[in-house]
């Protein structure tokens, strides 16, 4: 039994821009993951601008945990975009759902009001990503 099953690229009927867009999104998932895992503060202070004077260890641990999850998710997206393109619509649908829930959590009632109007970069990226993901999803379902 092989580690990876045969490629499904020949079965993909959607627009190639969606598959290549998913490749870029996977890179945009893997790079922040490595930052969260690799930086001493996980990017919580130096990038997100969070106050680490309280619960520093907990915040840094949560960033590392999130980075680990992001890394695995990003590698899965990369595999789909390059080798298993028949799953591109599913991946884009799940990403659209994930980013929509993230946006709701960041801007809705669970948004961090204690940041005094400061929004880390991820908040803005997520907000802009939702419509882009929906367009890519639509194109992935449209025959080329």
CA distance linking residue 47 with residue 143, whole number of Å: 40
Per-residue pLDDT of the chain (144 residues; tens, 9 = 90+): 688 999 999 999 999 999 999 999 999 999 999 999 999 999 999 988 888 999 999 999 999 999 999 999 999 999 999 999 999 999 999 999 999 998 888 877 776 655 556 677 778 888 899 999 999 999 999 987
Residue 39: give the domain boundaries: 13-111+119-141
Q: Is residue 8 part of a domain?
A: no
Q: How many domains are contained in the chain?
A: 1
Residue 1 counted as domain residue: no
Residue showing tokens 């997206």: 77
* Closest CA relative to residue 99, chosen from 129, 71, 63: 129
């Amino acid at each position: 039994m092989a580690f990876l099953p045969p490629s499904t690229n020949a079965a993909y009927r959607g627009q190639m821009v969606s598959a290549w867009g998913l490749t870029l999104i996977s890179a945009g998932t893997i790079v922040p993951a490595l930052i969260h895992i690799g930086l001493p503060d996980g990017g919580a202070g130096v990038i997100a601008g969070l106050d680490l004077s309280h619960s520093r260890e907990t915040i840094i641990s949560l960033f590392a945990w999130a980075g680990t999850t992001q890394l695995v998710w990003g590698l899965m997206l990369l595999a789909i975009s390059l080798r298993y393109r028949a799953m591109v619509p599913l991946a884009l649908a799940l990403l659209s759902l994930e980013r929509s829930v993230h946006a709701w959590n960041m801007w809705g009632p669970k948004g961090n009001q204690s940041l005094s109007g400061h929004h880390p970069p991820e908040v803005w990226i997520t907000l802009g990503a939702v419509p882009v993901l929906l367009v890519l999803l639509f194109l992935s379902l449209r025959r080329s």
